[in-house]
Amino acid sequence: MIHTSHLVKQFGSFKAVDEINLEIGRGEIFGFLGANGAGKTTTIRMLCGLLKPSSGEIRIDNLDIIKHSEQIKHKLGYMSQKFSLYPDLKAIENLQFYAGIYRVSFEPALIRLEPILEQFGLSSSLNALTRDLPMGYKQRLSLVAALMHDPPLVFLDEPTSGVDPQARREFWQVINDLAQSGKTIIVSTHFMDEAEYCHRVIIMQDGREVALGNPAELKQEYGSANMQELFLKVLGVSDAKL
Question: Comparing C-alpha atoms, which of 83, 218, 62 is closest to residue 141?
Answer: 83
* Shortest separation between residue 105's beta carbon and other proteins, angstroms: 10
Binder among 89, 174, 212, 234 for other proteins (CB under 8 A): 89
Comparison of 101 and 225: residue with beta carbon closer to other proteins: 101
Binder among 63, 83, 169, 234 for other proteins (CB under 8 A): 83
Per-residue binder mask for other proteins (CB under 8 A), 54-73, x = binder: ----------------x--x
39 binds other proteins (CB under 8 A): no
- Rounded (5°) CA angle 117-119-121: 65
What is d(CA 81, CA 84) in angstroms, rounded to the nearest whole number?
8
Number of Cβ within a 10 Å radius of residue 236: 8
Hey, which residues between 95 and 114 contact other proteins (CB under 8 A)?
Answer: 96-103
Whether the Cβ atoms of residue 188 and residue 181 lie closer than 8 Å to each other? no
Residue 71's H or E segment, with its range, is: helix 69-75
* Residues near other proteins, by CB under 8 A: 45, 48-52, 70, 73-74, 76, 78, 80, 82-86, 88-89, 93, 96-103, 145
